[in-house]
Amino acid sequence: MTILREVAGLDEVTEDAFLGGALSIFQPRQGYRAGLDAVLLAAAVPACGEASERVLDAGSGVGVVGLCVARRVPTTKVTLVENESRLVALARRNVERNRLSDRVEVIEADVTAPGSALEAVGLKSDTFDHVVANPPYNEEGRGRRPKHPIKAAAHAMPAENLQRWVQFLTRVAAPGGSLTLIHRPDALPNLLPVLKGRFGGLKILPLHPRASEPAVRVIVQGRKGSRAPLAILPGIILHGEDNRFRPEIVEILRNGAALPLA
């Protein structure tokens, strides 16, 4: 891991390997850092590679989720959308560094902005086959606010912004397009009503650290306009009894395997 200084106005940036070294990612040393959640989320995006599918990664940070999708499915066209200008700068470096400029674009925008402003930067309605998000997990004003401003923005958002995120994802998703997001299990009472009437056929996949422990994350996936019923899937156990990642998780983290929810 190489430490780089004075990149994108940040004091320190690290260079980290993802997907067993298939991706090299610059991200801030301090503040929010992408890791396990991002890779699992990217693996769950149901891009099949049979056509040139368009994928949008909302609140993309330095681009880990979208770049993992682009690396796993080489026919996809990926759009990264991020509001923090320093992370946008790193995302653009990451696209170039991984030689994905022909298939990945970065747009600086706030997904909660008015539709006209988003249209003006190229985020048009009914466009993307797959939309994906790793929104801030906490409600602003609850719990301790992280000291680092980038981490604070990625950590929490106003309660009403969850609905605004989903409204944006609904607007830009193509009819029948997929939504895939990762969140905390205790967010489901707020998340499911917001998705109702927008994305149906929801599948909820719990992620358990170990067999004896409750889920710490859920992956939620649905289709725009679907009226199919909700399904709670058998949970995935991340670690075995030896505390190492289970073999199927290693395949995702190191070799870019898919995590199908079907």
Q: Please give the average per-residue pLDDT across 184-209, as a whole number.
A: 96
Distances 244 to 10, 239, 247 between C-alpha atoms, Å: 33, 5, 9
In a domain, 170, yes or no: yes
CB-based burial label for 167 (10 Å; 0-12, 13-18, 19+):
middle
pLDDT tens by residue, 59-106: 999 999 999 999 999 999 999 999 999 999 999 999 999 999 999 999
Decide: 156 and 184 in contact? Cβ < 8 Å: no
Asked whether residue 6 carries a pLDDT value surpassing 50, the answer given is no
Asked whether residue 12 carries a pLDDT value surpassing 90, the answer given is no
Scanning the structure block, which residue is given the tokens 């073999």?
247
In a domain, 261, yes or no: no
Q: Within the chain, what is the greatest distance between any pair of CA atoms?
A: 52
Asked whether residue 184 carries a pLDDT value surpassing 90, the answer given is yes
User: Residue 51: its pLDDT value, please?
Assistant: 81
In a domain, 77, yes or no: yes
3-state secondary structure of 116: helix
Domain range spanning residue 108?
A: 3-255
Asked whether residue 8 carries a pLDDT value surpassing 70, the answer given is no
φ and ψ at residue 120, rounded to 5 degrees: -65, -25
- Picking from 22, 23, 19, the residue whose alpha carbon sits closest to that of residue 95 is 23
φ and ψ at residue 130, rounded to 5 degrees: -140, 130
Number of domains the chain is built from:
1
Q: Considering the chain, what is the average pLDDT of its residues?
A: 89
Asked whether residue 216 carries a pLDDT value surpassing 70, the answer given is yes
In a domain, 260, yes or no: no
| Distance separating alpha carbons of residues 240 and 235, to the nearest angstrom | 14
User: Residue 144: its pLDDT value, please?
Assistant: 55
List all residues 6 or more positions away from 2 whose beta carbon is below 8 Å from its beta carbon.
14, 15
CB atoms within 10 A of CB 99: 9
| Distance separating alpha carbons of residues 87 and 93, to the nearest angstrom | 10
User: Residue 48: its pLDDT value, please?
Assistant: 87
Q: Please give the average per-residue pLDDT across 1-13, as a whole number.
A: 56
User: Residue 32: its pLDDT value, please?
Assistant: 78
Handedness of CA 62, 64, 66, 72 (dihedral sign): positive
User: Residue 29: its pLDDT value, please?
Assistant: 85
User: Residue 145: its pLDDT value, please?
Assistant: 44
List all residues 6 or more positions away from 236 whose beta carbon is below 8 Å from its beta carbon.
205, 206, 207, 208, 248, 249, 259
The CATH number covering residue 16 comes to: 3.40.50.150
| Distance separating alpha carbons of residues 204 and 196, to the nearest angstrom | 14
User: Residue 159: its pLDDT value, please?
Assistant: 65
Count how many residues are written for the chain. Answer: 262
Report residue 68 as tokens: 């993992």
In a domain, 178, yes or no: yes
| Distance separating alpha carbons of residues 38 and 44, to the nearest angstrom | 10
| Distance separating alpha carbons of residues 115 and 193, to the nearest angstrom | 22
Q: Please give the average per-residue pLDDT across 20-30, as a whole number.
A: 93
Decide: 201 and 238 in contact? Cβ < 8 Å: no
pLDDT tens by residue, 95-144: 999 999 999 999 999 999 999 999 999 999 999 999 999 998 756 444 55
Asked whether residue 152 carries a pLDDT value surpassing 60, the answer given is no
In a domain, 262, yes or no: no
